[in-house]
Amino acid sequence: MFAMNSGMSNDLFSVAPATVADIPALCRLAEATWWHCYRGMISDEQIRFMLAWMYEPERLRSEMADGVDWLLLCRAGATAPVGFAAWSGTGRGREARLHKLYVHPGHQRRGGAKALLDSVYRRAADAGYRRLSLTVNRHNRTALQCYQRAGFHPCGTQVRDIGGGFVMDDYILARPLAAD
């Protein structure tokens, strides 16, 4: 694993910060990954509702301006992104929150999520955070397996009304971040 100023890379993937110019690619990736992952786990109506809400380009632009750190995953030697992560501080002590972790279905199970997570750990630790938390749908077994493997532990549940008649029914997970 080679650390770089802007991100991280391994043999198969590189990770680098996203900019506003990457928003269209982020939205396309979200669309492809969401339908593959969430169809059957939540209703099609809820998928449409959440994609329109969470991936509205102006919302992403304002999140980037407000300090949410969006990271792009690319296959080594390629420029088209195949995944992304987003995290920011929570405003509660030294806790950071992982908001997004997505790898395109055609590129999963090759260490892409691990490369993104390693980059988030390093950047969040360098910014002074000592704990990384996240929420994940209780029925998302693949993601739960990925987070468990990455050292996250369960620390609660959260049912959140997101409007439109929909709720997010999640586990809260967290893991420590190394200080050095």
Ligand X SMILES: CC(C)(COP(=O)(O)OP(=O)(O)OC[C@H]1O[C@@H](n2cnc3c(N)ncnc32)[C@H](O)[C@@H]1OP(=O)(O)O)[C@@H](O)C(=O)NCCC(=O)NCCS
- Catalog residues that contact ligand X under the rule CB under 6 A: 33, 37, 101-103, 108-114, 136, 140, 142-143, 145-146, 149
Q: Please say which residue, 128 or 153, places its beta carbon nearer to ligand X.
A: 153
Q: Please say which residue, 128 or 160, places its beta carbon nearer to ligand X.
A: 160
What is the nearest approach in angstroms of ligand X to the Cβ of residue 82? 9
Q: How far apart are CA 14 and CA 48, in angstroms?
A: 30
Contact 143, 119 (CB under 8 A): no
Contact 87, 132 (CB under 8 A): yes
3-state secondary structure of 173: strand
Q: How far apart are CA 18 and CA 131, in angstroms?
A: 23
Q: Please say which residue, 92 or 149, places its beta carbon nearer to ligand X.
A: 149
3-state secondary structure of 93: coil
DSSP for 135-150 reads EEETT-HHHHHHHHHT
What is the nearest approach in angstroms of ligand X to the Cβ of residue 110? 5
Q: Please say which residue, 128 or 142, places its beta carbon nearer to ligand X.
A: 142
Q: Please say which residue, 110 or 122, places its beta carbon nearer to ligand X.
A: 110
Q: Please say which residue, 87 or 129, places its beta carbon nearer to ligand X.
A: 87
DSSP for 1-60 reads -EE-SS-EE-SSEEEEE--GGGHHHHHHHHHHHHHHHHBTTB-HHHHHHHHHHHT-HHHH
What is the nearest approach in angstroms of ligand X to the Cβ of residue 148? 7
What is the nearest approach in angstroms of ligand X to the Cβ of residue 86? 11
Q: For residue 36, what are its two tokens?
A: 């593959």
